[in-house]
Amino acid sequence: MVVVIISSYFLVESPYLIGTIVILVLVLFVVIVLGVSFIQFNYFVKSINKGDNKEISFTFDDGPNPETTPQVLAILACENIKATFFVIGHQLEENKALLLKIHNEGHTIGNHSYCHTKKLTLFSTIHLMNDIEKCSVAIEKIIHHKPLLFRPPFGITTPRYQRALKHLDMKSIGWNIRSFDTIAKNKKALYKKITRKISDGSIILFHDTQQITVDVLPEIIQFCKTNGITIVPLPELINTRAYA
């Protein structure tokens, strides 16, 4: 009743109050949407989106893929480059040998969730923790190391992610260059998009599931070599452990 009386008073005294409240609500809604959608904002989850050194790192999401991942590995091996692969748990059962190959060639394995769906944002904290842990267990069974690095699917974060990762003692890894190679159609445009954004400490997000990524990767590596840009393993770039 008191709230109604006070609200009525302000509505009478301040005819623009409703409009102001609507604007504030809309602003809050936009802020929350941006906070959820853009991992770089660190709004709900503090993520590592860039390194402090001059070097850069390559990261690959959504694998392993039996068709394209071996091609990516061959390119990286030829150039002696170590990358980080954020893998999806449910794909590991049929790609155990490939995951082991990634690990044995000196690359870092990270957790990219088990089910990899946007519905993860709707999961309870416990359900989310179970999904992430399920992926970690699947990885550990194959490479005998438990990952500490996690990349949220689609870069979407919520307070539940923060609670889950804190409980699991894992770090959220973002990026400062998103290639959008999953929707890219033109290799030349993709090359320009990535190379013009490279700067000290860049963490580049690729997907080892795309043929266009395989096709453009040698050219991006050559750009880095020509410009004196060193590509280092992600744990080295951000000075953190990859495994428990």
What is the structure's pLDDT at 3? Answer: 42
Place of tokens 């990270």: 110
What is the structure's pLDDT at 180? Answer: 96
Helices and strands counted in the chain (H then E): 9, 8
Distances (CA, A) of 165 to 4, 32, 193: 42, 20, 32
Per-residue pLDDT of the chain (244 residues; tens, 9 = 90+): 444 444 444 444 555 667 666 665 555 444 444 444 458 777 779 999 999 999 999 999 999 999 999 999 999 999 999 999 999 999 999 999 999 999 999 999 999 999 998 788 788 999 999 999 999 999 999 999 999 999 999 888 899 999 999 999 999 999 999 999 999 999 999 999 999 999 999 999 999 999 999 999 999 999 999 999 999 999 999 999 999 9
Would you name the residues annotated as active-site residues? 61, 207
What is the structure's pLDDT at 105? Answer: 98
Q: Rounded distance, CA 146 to CA 89, Å?
A: 13
Q: Is 29 helix (H, G, I), strand (E, B) or coil?
A: helix
Q: Rounded distance, CA 127 to CA 160, Å?
A: 10
Domain ranges of the chain: 2-37, 45-238
What is the structure's pLDDT at 44? Answer: 77
Per the structure block, which two tokens stand in for 178?
Answer: 């998103």
What global pTM score does this model have? 0.85
State which fold the 45-238 domain adopts. TIM Barrel (3.20.20)
